[in-house]
């Protein structure tokens, strides 16, 4: 209400005078007062229109997506990353060295650290790590300044004690181990479980969407047909887990970081990849020389030629965000190549995703 006082205003050079409004006057009295000229009403209408335009512009600006954040993810088999202490509950001996205790030599550990620094990934899935304590010590003493704030390893099923693990610069959420699940193709007389483990880790990067990492090390080829059947059972179990996830969340962001001990022509690979709308694609990673092998045997190179065992697979939505990938395997005449060969029989695979 306008409280019985003279009200005057100057709006866009138009003088408005409202006199003797009285106690019962209201805002509509003011709007339709003869002194409220047509020109002024037009000016107010124009101002309202511009105000709506400003509101629409600001709404669109605020709704704009933030620039994508590139995140580098890698997988690396560290080959027998054993500490210097005997574990009486595992078979941690070196069958190639007259049964001596398996211990990663210091020069190989140092080479591993240089390789990881050259890789410079934000998240790394690791295979063949003996225990969490050794990985934490390695991170602290050899990878200082790299920013790996999260170290995760859960003891798996391998009788030698080699496990899968993860290093991450980003905070982690829930971590799931599948070491106890019964695999498909199990029978009453033979209960199959993962030969190591399938580790599921939820990664929560700052300023980017969360995503899930699966880390695995499938059964080696040692053991012939029995080993092949084990790998196939592991692949089916993993695919069932992914299918359930994609059914509940079709746009789930996840990656699979693994030493598969099989190549892209194998039944193991076909099972994991799947088909149709839920296909999980492999990063088409190659080295600078355009070859894609990731493993060179140290003990029987003449019998086993170089082969691709290490893979990054991505869910349908995640694969759309993949921008680049590769195998960290430079020319043989480089110091980095020598470090890579010294440290492990595997070469790292990496991929960059815009999240």
Smallest CA-to-CA distance from 124 within 310, 332, 337 is with 310
How high is the pLDDT of residue 61?
A: 52
How high is the pLDDT of residue 11?
A: 42
What are the domain boundaries of the chain? 7-63, 70-354
How high is the pLDDT of residue 37?
A: 57
How high is the pLDDT of residue 92?
A: 86
How high is the pLDDT of residue 21?
A: 44
- Cross-strand bridge partners of residue 310: 259
Distance CA 271, CA 157 (A): 23
Question: From first to last of its 355 residues, what are the pLDDT tens digits of the chain?
Answer: 444 444 444 443 344 444 444 444 454 554 455 555 556 666 666 667 767 667 656 665 555 556 789 999 999 999 999 999 999 889 888 777 777 888 999 999 999 999 999 999 999 999 999 999 999 999 999 999 999 999 999 999 999 999 999 999 999 999 999 999 999 877 766 779 999 999 999 999 999 999 999 999 999 998 899 999 999 999 999 999 999 999 999 999 999 999 999 999 999 999 999 999 999 999 999 999 999 999 998 876 677 899 999 999 999 999 999 999 999 999 999 999 999 999 999 999 999 999 9
How high is the pLDDT of residue 189?
A: 67
Distance CA 164, CA 234 (A): 15
How high is the pLDDT of residue 76?
A: 98
Pick the CATH number of 70-354 from 3.30.2020.30, 3.30.70.20, 3.30.420.130, 3.60.10.10: 3.60.10.10
Percent helix / strand / coil, the chain, rounded to 5: 30, 25, 45
Distance CA 185, CA 136 (A): 36
Smallest CA-to-CA distance from 152 within 141, 165, 137, 163 is with 165
Residue 271 in contact with residue 232, Cβ under 8 Å?
yes
Distance CA 131, CA 135 (A): 7
């Amino acid at each position: 209400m306008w409280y019985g006082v003279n009200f005057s205003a100057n709006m866009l050079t138009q003088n408005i005078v409202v006199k003797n409004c009285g106690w019962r006057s209201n805002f509509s009295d003011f709007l339709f007062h003869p002194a409220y000229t047509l020109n002024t009403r037009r000016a107010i209408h124009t101002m309202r229109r511009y105000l709506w335009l400003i509101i629409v512009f600001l709404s669109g600006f605020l709704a704009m997506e933030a620039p994508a954040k590139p995140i580098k993810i890698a997988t690396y088999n560290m080959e027998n990353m054993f500490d210097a202490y005997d574990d009486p509950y595992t078979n941690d001996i070196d069958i190639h060295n007259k049964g001596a205790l398996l211990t990663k030599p210091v020069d190989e550990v140092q080479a591993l650290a240089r390789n990881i620094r050259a890789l410079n990934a934000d998240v790394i899935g690791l295979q063949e790590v003996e225990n969490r304590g050794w990985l934490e010590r390695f991170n602290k003493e050899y990878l200082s300044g790299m920013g790996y704030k999260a170290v995760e390893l859960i003891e798996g099923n391998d009788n030698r004690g080699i496990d899968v693990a993860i290093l991450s610069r980003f905070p982690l959420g829930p971590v799931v181990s599948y070491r106890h699940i019964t695999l498909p193709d199990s029978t009453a007389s033979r209960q199959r479980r993962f030969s190591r483990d399938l580790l599921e880790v939820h990664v929560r990067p700052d300023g980017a969407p969360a995503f899930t990492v699966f880390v695995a090390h499938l059964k080696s080829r040692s053991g012939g047909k029995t080993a092949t059947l084990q790998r196939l059972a592991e692949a089916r179990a993993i695919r069932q887990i992914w299918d359930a996830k994609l059914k509940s969340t079709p746009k789930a962001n996840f990656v699979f970081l693994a030493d598969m001990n099989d190549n892209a022509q194998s039944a193991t690979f076909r099972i994991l990849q799947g088909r149709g709308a839920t296909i999980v694609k492999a990063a088409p990673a190659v080295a600078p020389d355009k070859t894609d092998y990731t493993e060179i045997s140290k003990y029987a190179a003449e019998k086993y030629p170089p082969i691709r065992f290490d893979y990054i697979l991505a869910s349908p939505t995640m694969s759309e965000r993949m921008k680049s990938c590769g195998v960290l395997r430079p020319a043989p005449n480089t110091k980095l190549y020598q470090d890579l060969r010294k440290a492990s029989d595997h070469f790292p695979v990496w991929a960059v995703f815009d999240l």
